[in-house]
Structure formats: C-alpha cells, structure tokens
Structure 1
Amino acid sequence: MLDNLPRGTICIEDIEIGMTRHLRKTVTDQDIELFGQVSTDRNPVHFDDAYAEDTIFEGRIAHGMLTAGLISAVIGEQLPGHGSIYLGQTLKFLGPVRPGDTVLAEVTVTDIQHAKRRVALDCRCTVGDTVVLKGEAMVLAPSRKFD
C-alpha cells in the first residue's frame, strides 16, 4: 500500500518554513527481499525467522536504511521534489519496522537559505504512534532561475 501526496517539484522560490509532505507505505516481505538484493545486506535478522526470534527484536525486521529510503522518496518526489540534490542527512533509529508495518514518512521545512538554494528538513518515520526514525536533511532545491 502506498499513500502519498502528488509528486513533482516545489522550487526554492515557493518553499516556506513549516511546509510538510509525507508518504505512507506498508513494508512487505518483497520490499525486504528486494532491498537485501540491491544493498547486498543479507543480515539474517531481516530474513530468518528462527534467527530473528533470538535477537533483541524478537522477530524479523526491515532494514533501517529501507525505512530511511522512504524519507529520500519524500524529498526526491515531493519536497522539494524532482531536481532536489541531497547534501546531507542525519538519522537516529529508534524502533524496528516489521514486515506488514505501515510507515508514515514525513519531512518538514525548518530553514531556508535562499541565496544558496539550501533547505533544511526535519525528517521522521512513524509506525502508528511510535517514532521509529528521526533526523535532519539538508538539500539543494531546484530553482526556476535555472530552467
């Protein structure tokens, strides 16, 4: 399941502090398998039920960077959107995402440096009422001046 706002571009000239965009995605076993293939991260905590039962998570979990990738999707598709360039990202992983969990990934504009086209974003992912990831991103936003 994927629920998000319209995709596209918001140019630096139109970005305002407090703007927020999000997407909602249910993480599937196929998502975990595909991420494992692409990243080559085959840690058994993601793939082996018996192994994962004996970990602090007491069951299989999705890759943390799969969850972080949802933040990247919001930035690259919605805010600022197409033409955005990542300059930096901090992440704190606060809880597991399990197969079948629905993750809400949200970004909110916290600062704008118009002259440099830089936008600071507060980033968070939640499963229900639980924050599972939080961080900050700095991105270079597209501008109409360069069209």
Structure 2
Amino acid sequence: MKLTFSYNAVVVFILLMLPNIVYFISPPTDVPETLGSSMKLLGLIENIFRIISFLLLFFVPKNPNASIKSPWVIGIIIFMVLYFVLWGRYFFEGSTYEVLGKDFLGIPMPMVIFPIGCLICTAFWLDCIPAVIATIIFGMVHALSHFVSN
C-alpha cells in the first residue's frame, strides 16, 4: 500500500464535520438516559472504524487528485446536500435528540445513511477500496448503535 495524501478527502471530511461542530457547541438537552454503558463498546468499535475510514481516505487513495468531473462526485454532492438538509431540520426543529432519529422521505436512519453514502462515494471516487470496506463496516456499526439507542 502506497501512502499518498488526498486534499479531496480532507475537503469532504471538513464539509461533513461542519454541522457536527455546531452540534457539539450546542448539543440537545433531551438525550435519553438509557444511552449509557451498553453503548460504550459499540461506540468504541464505531469510533475505531470511523478513524480507520478517514485515515484510509486521507493517506491510501490510488487516485488522490481525482477529477471533479467524476460521476462519483454527483453522489457525494447528493448525499452531502441531503445530510445538510437533515442538519437544517435538526437545528430548525428545536435541536432535539428525537429529530436526529426521524425518518426522512420514508428513509429510515438518514443521519446514518447519508454521510456513510457520501463517504463510500468519496472512497470510490478516490479509488480507495480499503476505505470502501472500512466505511461499510463503520456504517453497519453506526447503524447498529443508532438502532440500539432508539
């Protein structure tokens, strides 16, 4: 595996993290108390695969400077816009924990599906199959932790 660096991956990462910064500055006040120790192991596994996914995207892409004209970029944009719409819904509907888990246009767990879809498209765009695999595992654990917490 050749180590390279992808500024494209960093741009996608920063865009995905922007709403999370606001979330951490002003988190919901109605987080259920049942989210406790049972979630710690799942959370740890989730975070490990989150970090692995991003590190692979940043440092292992075969095509770190992929063309913006790629069809994968359309997928990235669609998932990113949908993700931002969800964050807008969260902030405009009172920033409650309940809003984070609401379906969107009949799609369950959209706050899990949309960013994972964006990251998978990014991994394909940068031709980084290890990141595709790690992101799919991250997405499955993320979905499981979301399912268990609700």
Does TM-score exceed 0.5, indicating one fold?
no
Of structures 1 and 2, the larger Rg is shown by: 1
TM-score w.r.t. length of structure 2: 0.27
Larger strand share, 1 or 2: 1
Higher helix share: 2
